[in-house]
Amino acid sequence: MSLFCREIKPVILVMKSLATLLFSFCLALSASAQLNYGGEPSNWSDKRFPDHLSFLVMPELNRAELAAEDAVVDQYKEAPWRFGVEHEVQLNPSNAGSWSQASGKAIWQLGITCPEGTSMSFLFTNYDLPKGAELFIWSADRAQFLGSYNHINNSESGVFPVGLLQSDQAVIELSVPEALKSSVVLELSQIIHGYRSLLRNDFSEVDEERGPFGNSGACNINVNCPSGADWQIEKRSVALIVSGGSSLCSGVMVNNTAQDGTPYFLTANHCLPSIPANVANWVFYFNHESAGCSGSTGPTNQSIAGSVLRARNANSDFALLELNDTPPSSFNVQYAGWDKTDNEATVTGAVGIHHPSGDVKKICFEEDSPSQQNQAGAEVWYINQWESGVTEGGSSGSPLFNQNHRVIGQLYGGFAACSGNVNNGQADWYGRFGVSWDGTSAATRLRDWLDPQGTNPSFIDGYPDGFVAAQIDAAVGSLSGIPSTVCGNTVTPTIQLTNNGLTTLTSCTINYQLNGGTATTIPWTGSLAQNQSTTVNLPAITAANGSNTLTVTVSNPNGVADENATNNSVQVSFTAFTGPVFEATINLTFDDYPEETSWRITQGALVLYTSPAYDNQPGGSSLEISVCLPEGCYSFIMEDDYGDGMCCEYGEGSYLVTNNLGQTVASGGTFVTSETTQFCLGGAGLDEKSSLGFRIYPNPAQENIQLVRESGDQASYVVTDGTGRIVKQGMISGASNSLNVSDLPAGYYVIRLKQNEDFNAKPFVIQR
């Protein structure tokens, strides 16, 4: 990259009129890039231009010199395909741009011009916005904008890359509450000046549409051509990596044994920058593909900014990253399955999906068995020659799938390329996934990250959509009907039975087992074609009090052995309260940022309830949640992961917890990171009879508790804290007594009474 980086000093051009614009585009692109959070720039509907706004003008580019450099470098597969020049700058609200005010907010704007540029993108290396600030980047003709970006985009590295804006003039706009103006940390360190034509095909004398990041040779095959029909699931896992002014490499989202959608991304070790932490600068573009078999244009509006390096090893040329954000459901991303067996005899063919020279997504086919070799010190799969399609520079790091649609490697290098409309018949090689699996530490191997459960499978299928090219393959999917906490001793689970095999599934055996006990067998018969599913209801199961684990396994499909045992079992753990239970109610009113809110109910170290993610909950909305618990005392923990509570600067958020008597036991909203309140359910506060009947009130207490007994005979009492330590004791007489607890700290306690030979105990909470 250093060959193409230039130290550029911008000059200032004051513009008060935009009557003429230097650049316009035929290509229609969405105005969104990496994850943004809605809204629009100030006065967006007013097309008049602010008089105070000045533009920094980047120097004109030496197109002849760039073309000469590109003619050389574009020939090498290991080199990134460059589409822009990186101008190094140090611009921030203190030394550039101008401030104004509108609607109680301070607005900073900075205009930038890249003469005759085809695109613009930006890199911030000091990005730390306070809550309430919003960042937009918009084209000077007000045709499109990127953003808003806000405090949710903050990261530990402070790095935030933004792209791609199809314009040669842009305005960076920061809106922040006036009181938080001094809290802004924002520095622009790089402006990427796009210069490659969006309309000219560098591999042909005929002009045709091309993508913004590059264009590949004529022998490449669009992934949406008929030959790619069987690979429409796997294609969703492949993404293009852009760094600065170059389309750097390709890579693939990979599944892990927890199947939890952790955004792990596999690419090549040689794609990494000289400073590995700089992967925080990378932008990952998903679904950049032509809609059909022809054309070289595709969406650029589905991207994730930044990542963290988790593991790397040159021995198989792999690098595993974790993206800063999980791709949202709208991206429809697939997490590819993989095969670590590294058995040459079982691989009968291979497919590569990639972004050659930064182009839209392509596919290539190896119809023979690849061999295992050592290439320049790396353990690789050797592709002697592609039967159709090819790879190029920018394809590095892209996945190699075996005939079962599982990743077995990532592109290391090779000499394969187009020779006119056909490939040149040369070889490629891919670092082997099976070699990458093991290493000397978590930083040099895959297994710590992709097998967090330590199950050590030979292979797994993709997530959320698996693909197994087996004749006989019965799979047990979701196990539902069992909440994480069960009130009572009976559960009635259901499972999803799926036929992943090519042969119609007509019978199988379903086994279920609770807590490692005796397995119960259920025969199933029916008719399921490939990829069809049915719901199977299991009989009611009697749970044990406390922790339970239910395991369901499917076997014996069509009376024979299952050819894929990796999807035959599913397991769920839950807690059951089989005795008397009581209900508590949680009422939540969210502030403007519901995604920051969470809560838990615990008893000691045991977490009994935990909230779901509230990412899709509207700001200012309310929810009511009911939970059931046995008699006892618990902790309710309210949390805000940004550290500003639920009220009141960004909405009037609050929470309220009531016990089984309708009494308020926890409430609030004004806190920092978390707030913990102890509360009790059941006997504490109820007039329940036992061998020694008594009740206590109020509960929770502050200064005193009242003891009301059926008998006025003399009795002894002992008060213990949550650890069982005696903190108060004495004697009482009479039917009603007041016990002073003002000397005890807030927390959970138990009072035990003894009267002659009768005993009883009740929990209570001191809350202040």
Q: Are the C-beta atoms of residues 698 and 669 closer than 8 Å to each other?
A: no
- The residue whose two tokens read 């199988």 is 508
The burial class, CB within 10 Å (0-12 / 13-18 / 19+), for 706 is: middle
Q: Please say if 317 is a catalytic residue.
A: yes
Instruction: Please enumerate in sequence order all residues whose Cβ is within 8 A of that of 206, keeping only pairs 6 or more positions apart, or say none.
Output: none
DSSP codes, 371-425: EEEEETTEEEEEE---SB----TT-TT-EEEETTS-EEEEEEEE---EETTEE--
Structure tokens at 430: 């891919």
Q: What is the distance between the terminal CA atoms of the chain, rounded to a whole angstrom?
A: 61
Give the helix/strand (H/E) hosting 72.
helix 63-73
Contact assessment for residue 265 and residue 320, using Cβ atoms and an 8 Å cutoff: yes
The catalytic residue among 270, 354, 355, 405 is 270
Residue 448 burial (10 A CB sphere; 0-12, 13-18, 19+): middle
H/E run at residue 82: strand 81-82
Bridge-partner residues for 542, per DSSP?
490
Whole-Å CA distances, 261 to 264, 325, 597: 8, 11, 21
Chain centre distance of CA 765: 39
Q: For residue 703, how many C-alpha atoms fall within 13 Å in the half-sphere facing its CB?
A: 0
Three-state secondary structure of 583-636: EEEEEEECCCCHHHEEEEEEECCEEEEECCCCCCCCCCCEEEEEEEEECEEEEE
Pairwise CA distance, residues 160 & 478, whole Å? 38
Phi, psi of 278 (to 5 degrees): -75, 0
The residue to which tokens 């509230």 are assigned: 614
Q: Tokens in use for 290?
A: 């032509």
DSSP 543: P
Asked if the peptide bond before residue 263 counts as cis, ω within 30 degrees of 0, the response is no
Picking from 569, 406, 562, 360, the residue whose alpha carbon sits closest to that of residue 472 is 562
Distance separating alpha carbons of residues 399 and 380, to the nearest angstrom: 13
Q: Catalytic pick from 70, 74, 168, 317?
A: 317
Q: If you search the block for the tokens 């090549």, which residue do you land on?
A: 268
270 is catalytic: yes
Is 396 noted as a catalytic residue in this protein?
Answer: yes
Q: Which residues are catalytic?
A: 270, 317, 396
